[in-house]
Homo-oligomer: A and B are copies of this chain.
Amino acid sequence: MNKEEAKQQLIEELGVHFESEYSLPPLAARIFANLVITEEDGLTFEDCLTKQCASKSSVSTSLNLLLQMDFIKYFTKSGDRKRYFKIANKDAFFIGKLNAVLKKLEKELEMIKKVESYNIVHNPQKHEANKEKKKIYMKCVEDTKAIYRKAIEDLKNTQE
């Protein structure tokens, strides 16, 4: 398998992964995948257009979505009106991911607490029955959060 083939295949695979992982529309996921694995330092609007065989408007929407989600950023070159898009920054890829998981865990905890509050008031016996399990689960979430926070710190300290 040559490089171009390997690349295309990996983009498709990564694209599918990103769709579910980050709830991205298919085209945005593919564009992001392309930016993740490209060896170039930044791809232009046109690059994205031709590489994904998509329409201008769809590429525009997708790139703006990715920008707004902080998945990508762009830079310019003086004397060149094009924008060059690249993934937000080498760490952001991981940090963003870690933060996303953290946020989900926070939300999950919040929902569990709401259910708990409801049960304390309206279903005391049910609350008693689940107390121990909730405790284990919550500890697990807290431990995970600690690990993630540390990893984010570590990543930040790896700046080159």
Proximity bits, A133-150, B CB within 8 Å = 1, else 0: 100110110011001101
From A43-51, A55-63, A68-76, A123-131, the one touching the partner chain is A123-131
Residues of B within 8 A of A90 (CB): 129-130, 133
- Tell me whether A10 and B115 are in contact (CB under 8 A): yes
Residues of B within 8 A of A122 (CB): 3, 6-7, 39
Residues of B within 8 A of A13 (CB): 111, 114
How far, in angstroms, from A140 to B144 measured CA to CA in the complex?
A: 9
Checking B3, B23, B140, B150 against A98 with a beta-carbon cut-off of 8 angstroms, the contacting residue is B140
From A24-32, A77-85, A152-160, the one touching the partner chain is A152-160
- Nearest B-chain residue to A147, judged by Cβ: B143
Q: Any chain B CB within 8 A of the CB of A54? A: no
CB distance from A9 to the nearest CB of B (A): 9
Number of copies: 2
- Tell me whether B151 and A132 are in contact (CB under 8 A): no
- Tell me whether B10 and A94 are in contact (CB under 8 A): no
- Tell me whether B151 and A118 are in contact (CB under 8 A): no
- Tell me whether A148 and B140 are in contact (CB under 8 A): yes
- Nearest B-chain residue to A91, judged by Cβ: B133
How far, in angstroms, from A113 to B129 measured CA to CA in the complex?
A: 42
CB distance from A96 to the nearest CB of B (A): 11
- Tell me whether A118 and B155 are in contact (CB under 8 A): no
Known: A129-B90, A158-B132. A10 touches B139 (CB 8 A): no
